[in-house]
Each structure stands twice: as C-alpha cells, then as structure tokens.
Amino acid sequence: MKAMRFWSVAIVAFFWIMAASVPAAEEEKVRVISLSDCLQMAFKQNISFISVGESVRLREITRALTRHDYGLLFTGTASAEYSGGEAEETELTEQLEVSVSQLLPTGGEAELSSSATGLGVEDGEFDQEFSSNLQLTLTQPLLQGSGRLVYREELTQVERRLVYAVRALELAKQDLAIDTVSLYYDVLGDKKITEIFKSRLDDARLQRQRSEARFSVGKERGVDLARAKIQESSAEQAYRDQVVAYERSLDDLKLFLNLSIEETIALVPEEISYVPVKVDLKKCIGLARQNRLDLLNARERLEDAERHLILAREKLRNPLDLVVGSAFSSEDDWDWTVGLAFTLPLDKWQERSDYESQIIGYSQTRRDTKRTEDEVVLGVIETLRSLRRSENTIRIQDLTVEDAARRLEQAKIDYSRGKGTNRDVVEAQNELASAQNELVRAKIDYIIGKLELQREIGTLLIDEEGNWLHREGKL
C-alpha cells in the first residue's frame, strides 16, 4: 500500500514537473489607446486625409514653379558641327547662344540675348569669320494684355488654388477629428450598452432561478416559469448580439485608423457625461459668417469670377504692342529699332463668346455665394436645434431611467411578497435596459453635436498632431 502511494506521488510529481517545463502560451497583447492617441493616429495614418495633404503639397510645388517663371529666366545653347565635301575642306562651326528674360509688371517682357559664332578653329582661336552680338528687346502691350492685373493673373491663380487647398485641408482636419471622436464614443457607447445587457442577463437568470424555486413549492405557475426562461434566453441572445456589435465597432475604428484588423485594442474609458453648453444664436451666426472657411472660399471665388470678367473684357481690345530693340555686334556696330505691332481685328468671335460666358459665370457665382452663406446660417440653426433636441431627450431619458429603476425595484419587492407576477419584473427589466440605452446614445449625440457646432461656426481648430486648439465655452 505504501509502495502504491509512493508511485502515485512520484507520477503526479513527474507530470507536474513536465507541465512546468512546457513554456506557457503567450498572452494576447492588448493595445490600450486613448482618444488623444486615436486622433494622432488618424492624422498620421488615415488614407483619405493623407491624400488631402498631398494635394496641398502639389499646389505648393506648382506655386513655386510659377514664382520661378516670374523671375529671371536663363536659357543657353551650345553647338558644334563639322561640314565638308569632295570639293570643300572640312570646317568646324561652333555657336553659343545665351539669353535672359524677365516679365515686367506692366505686362511686357524684356529679353537680353547674346550669340557668338566661329568658323574654322585653329590653334584654339577663331579665324576671321568669328562674329558675336548682344541684343536687348523690350515688348510692351499698349492695349490688350497691358497692366499689372494681366501680369499677375497666372500667379494669382496658383496662389488662390493653394489657399483653397489649405482650407480644404483644414476642413478635412475638422471632419476627421469629429469622425474620430464619433467612432471612439461609439465604441465606448457599445461597451456601456454591453454592460447594461450583461446586467439585464444577470437579472434575468436570477429571476429564472427564483421562478424555479417558487414553482418547486407550488407558488409559481408554469406559464410564469416559462416566461422567466424565455426572458433569460432573450436577454442572453440580446447580450450576444450586443457583444458582436461592440466588436464590429472596434473593427470599424481599427479600419478607420489604418490599423491591422487582427490587432487587439482596448480604449481608455472616458465618462460619457452630459455637460450642457449655453449658446447665443446670433453670436453663433456672426462667428460662422466671419470664420467659416467654405464661406471664405465662396467669397473669394466670387472675386475670381469678377477678375476673370475683367480679363475677358480686356481681350476684346485690339492687340497693339510697342517693340524697342537695340543690338551691338563684334564689328562695333550699334543698331536700334522702334516699332508698333498691331493685330487687325478680323475675327473677335471667340473673345466675345468668352466674355459672354464670363458674364454668365459671374452671375452664377454670385448666386452660389449667397446660397452658401444661407446654407451656413441654416447649418448653424439646424445644429442648435439638434443640440436642444438632444438636451430634451437626455432630460426625458434621465427621468425615464429613474422611473424604470423604481418600477423594477418595486416589481421585485411585490414579486418576492407574492403580490405580483414575474411579468411585471420582466417588463420593468426591459424598460430599464431600453431607457439606459437611449440615455447613452443621447449623451453621445450631444457630445458630437457640440463639436459639430464648433465646426459650423468655424472655431474648431486642430493642429497637425490632432491636438485641440480650441476648447468649448460659452458661445
């Protein structure tokens, strides 16, 4: 007997040692991220936002190239060729041309060019056929194409497009921040609702156990016990469905942040609190008219349309250019020329059509600008309406939750005393869970609504790292 006991202990010890020697499976690593982390990752990794930033960079490259074209432009060519034949000696011809040009603020252009040509190089020096010249040419439009407005048009266009792209980037920042916060709180809300459903399931299980106990002593009808079991099954299925919804919302957040779908993440808990904000409608509308970037874009596009109209009218004038030239040659000769170049207005159909098109375009842009301003004002009003509706919903759901909690407590007391049925308990449980869910969603809607209000009035500012530059306050 002692030997058997000894071997039993030895076998148990052997398996215990073997189990201890097997490396434990690595625990799944969970990446815990906060709202600030989500914002920073979204600004660095969100694919759509990266594309908007690249558009700004392309506009900057175009502006740099255009500014270069407004400066001194140098060109130069050098060539050398041999020529000859049966009746001719082989000759070497070398030629060098250099020029520099500059656009003038008056709409004209100045060009300084020089060239040198040599024939038959011998011992490193040109022969008697060497020639060179230096020429200065000034072309100045007197009618069509003159003036600073025409001179700066191309640069003005690229600078405006860059401004619009930068504002589009800023608007994309605001949208990205709101979308990130919305997804983050959606996950927190689904987690909170999952906890509510779990609590409801625990209550349903406890209620079923009580019904079974009462049924076993003849104090509960079979139909009431069946109802308790159905309620437990229904609560369990609702809990499982909510767990799936919670996991799906986490996957949506990972996809939005461009994280691996297989990565396991968890969010830092943040209180889904209701902090009402005082809002002055007139002040909000005034801020929106002053700060909204899309409204600023609309106003400046109206300026663009007006400028294009002026330029189209300018093209109806006949081209008349003043051309002044001066040349120096290697033979110490100096020549000068002064002349006018006039283009006969034989066909102005294209210019007149463009002018009429610009008139129509200006009228359309002016109406669009007015409509944009109206939409901005309407957007502020609608956002405030949504906030007030959310405030009212939160107040109602607060009272509903309190009432449902009291009803559930009373139903449980009545049921334990034999004064009520489990139907009352089941109905009270469902009403409480529904009210709690609605309260969570209403609070999330209000949090997002306050951010949307800041966007509507143009005070939602975010830096390149996704940090808030403006905190909410009295409006």
Domains in the chain, CATH or no CATH each: 37-69+142-457 (1.20.1600.10)
Whether pLDDT at 20 is above 90: no
Percent of the chain with pLDDT over 90: 34
For residue 10, what pLDDT band results from cuts at 50, 70 and 90?
A: low
Dihedral sign, CA of 275, 276, 278, 279? positive
Q: How high is the pLDDT of residue 235?
A: 87
Q: How high is the pLDDT of residue 472?
A: 44
Model confidence pLDDT, tens digit, residues 224-263 = 788 888 888 988 998 999 999 999 999 999 988 888 888 8
Strands 109-119 and 131-141, bridge-based pairing: antiparallel
| Coil vs helix vs strand at 211 | helix
Q: Could you tell me if 117 and 93 are in contact, meaning their C-beta atoms sit under 8 angstroms apart?
A: yes
Whether pLDDT at 25 is above 60: no
Whether pLDDT at 372 is above 90: yes
Whether pLDDT at 475 is above 60: no
Q: Indicate the range of 8-12, 401-405, 418-422 predicted with least confidence.
A: 8-12
- Of the two residues 435 and 17, the one the predictor is more confident about is 435
User: Other C-beta atoms within 10 Å of 113: how many?
Assistant: 17
Whether pLDDT at 8 is above 60: no
Q: How high is the pLDDT of residue 377?
A: 94
Model confidence pLDDT, tens digit, residues 177-207 = 899 989 999 998 899 889 888 888 888 888 8
For residue 310, what pLDDT band results from cuts at 50, 70 and 90?
A: very high
Tokens of 272: 């889904």
Q: How high is the pLDDT of residue 468?
A: 67
For residue 426, what pLDDT band results from cuts at 50, 70 and 90?
A: confident
Whether pLDDT at 434 is above 60: yes
CB burial of 370-388 (b: ≥16 within 10 Å; e: otherwise) equals eebbeebbebbeebbebbe
Rounded-to-integer distance, Cα 314 and Cα 145, Å: 7
Mean predicted confidence (pLDDT) in 143-170: 91
**Bridge partner residues of 271 (DSSP):** none
E-strand stretches of 343-406: none
Residue 76: what residue type?
A: G
First to last CA, the chain: 88
pTM of the model: 0.76
E-strand stretches of 295-417: 320-329, 334-342
- Of the two residues 85 and 23, the one the predictor is more confident about is 85
User: Other C-beta atoms within 10 Å of 92: how many?
Assistant: 14
Mean pLDDT of all residues belonging to the chain: 84
**Bridge partner residues of 327 (DSSP):** 135, 335
Residue with tokens 């107040």: 395
Model confidence pLDDT, tens digit, residues 42-85 = 888 888 888 888 999 999 999 999 999 999 999 999 888 877 66
Model confidence pLDDT, tens digit, residues 360-371 = 999 999 999 999
Percent of the chain with pLDDT over 70: 87
For residue 328, what pLDDT band results from cuts at 50, 70 and 90?
A: confident
Whether pLDDT at 288 is above 80: yes
Q: How high is the pLDDT of residue 24?
A: 43
Rounded-to-integer distance, Cα 97 and Cα 72, Å: 16
Rounded-to-integer distance, Cα 374 and Cα 107, Å: 40
Mean predicted confidence (pLDDT) in 458-462: 84
Q: Indicate the range of 214-223, 335-344, 440-449 predicted with least confidence.
A: 214-223
Model confidence pLDDT, tens digit, residues 96-128 = 899 999 999 998 999 999 988 876 654 455 455
Tokens of 249: 């919302």
Q: Could you tell me if 285 and 458 are in contact, meaning their C-beta atoms sit under 8 angstroms apart?
A: no
Residue with tokens 């790292």: 465
Rounded-to-integer distance, Cα 162 and Cα 4, Å: 89
